[in-house]
Amino acid sequence: MPHSELLQPVTLGRHTLKNRIVLPPLTRQRSGQPGNVPTDLMALYYQQRASAGFIVTEGTQIEPRGQGYAWTPGIYSAEQIAGWRKVTDAVHASNGVIFAQLWHVGRVSHTALQPDGGAPLAPSALQAQKVKAFIETAPGSGMLVDPSMPRELSVDDIQALVALYAQAAQNALSAGFDGVEIHCANGYLVNQFISAHANQRTDEYGGSLHKRLRFLREVVEAVSAVVGPDRVGVRFTPLFTSTDEDRVYIGFVEEDPHTTYIEAIKVLEDVGIAYLSIAEADWDNAPDLPEAFRREVRSTFTGRIMYAGRYTAERGAPLVAAGLADLIAFGRPFIANPDLPERIANGWPLNALNAAPLYGGTEAGYTDYPVYSEAV
């Protein structure tokens, strides 16, 4: 069987997964309006892909101030929780496992997305550069805009945010999710605290690397206390170089990324969470992660390790075989191929991706991709 390493079952905390192929978080901007509520169409989309070892939802904002893009779903209102319950019920009906990704964009937002037109939140009052927010201009229409100048969070604000993460984790359990992933990547709020580029605080949440990791530690501990560390994952984007100046929005290149992220991973190891997700650069000719970093990740973290970033079965299976990865996430291929694990298992060709309707829209380019048929 081709790429058999990807097709073997594996434990993930309290769950046993049927394979090592993951649907990672993928923003699709199709929540119901008003209220950013998950819909029946979203339930169908995730159910179609329930043959994954497990699913991580698109980022779902933990509070209204955590939104940076129009039409992304939330997980803070009763209506949103009820909408996500439709999603989890549909996935479980197809014997799938699904985690919710808890998201707060921090400074990557705009006053048009903030309650009462307030300023976005950030560890420091530094405006995000080379990144865009997305606002609605009319029903079903929107535009990319520069993020607004954020306000610096007070210590009381920070502690309130930690509590909001814990509440969002509780809401995820109420919605029927099997676990949660904390979005600590791509230049969003937790990543802003970690990065010296965005965090210029001089109190207990900034300055040294240890202090910049404090918010990460507190959020992971608070969420783990609610759902159990064996149902928690964390996503990082440890960029080592940026070869495309138009793509720096996916994260920050730290002065010493190896040390920064190994120390961050030690925080996760101390808490004992179930998995670490590492999202790599995904543009053409993007640099690979250094082999030495992959090996130290493995020696530092005893939970499951997942990699994402333009992976094919041919590229992902050797990482699993080498013991450097336990799970491989497939983004665009899983969008276009709802039966991706079966296609990998049988060596069947893949549907091409229709990129035009990736963000926003209806069923076109979302739930209308066909499963494989030898008759086709």
CA pair distance 201, 198, nearest whole angstrom: 9
- Please give the DSSP secondary-structure letter assigned to residue 124: S
Tokens of 265: 């991973």
DSSP summary character for residue 18: S
DSSP 11: E
Dist CA 223 CA 240 (whole Å): 28
Note whether 242 and 286 are within 8 A (CB).
no
Distance between CA 56 and CA 232 in Å, rounded? Answer: 11
Q: Which helix (H) or strand (E) holds 157?
A: helix 155-174
Identify the active-site residue in 69, 165, 188, 369. 188
User: Among 1, 4, 52, 15, which Cα is nearest to 304's?
Assistant: 15
Q: Is 332 exposed, middle or buried (0-12, 13-18, 19+ CB in 10 A)?
A: middle
Q: Tell me if 19 sits within 8 A of 6, measured CB to CB.
A: yes
Q: Is the dihedral of CA 106, 109, 113, 117 positive or negative?
A: positive
* Residue 322 CB partners (closer than 8 Å, separation 6+): none
The whole-angstrom separation of Cα 120 and Cα 116 is 11
To the query of whether residue 205 is one of the catalytic residues in this protein, the response is no
In angstroms, rounded to a whole number, what is the distance separating the alpha carbons of residues 193 and 81? 28
Q: Which residues are catalytic?
A: 188
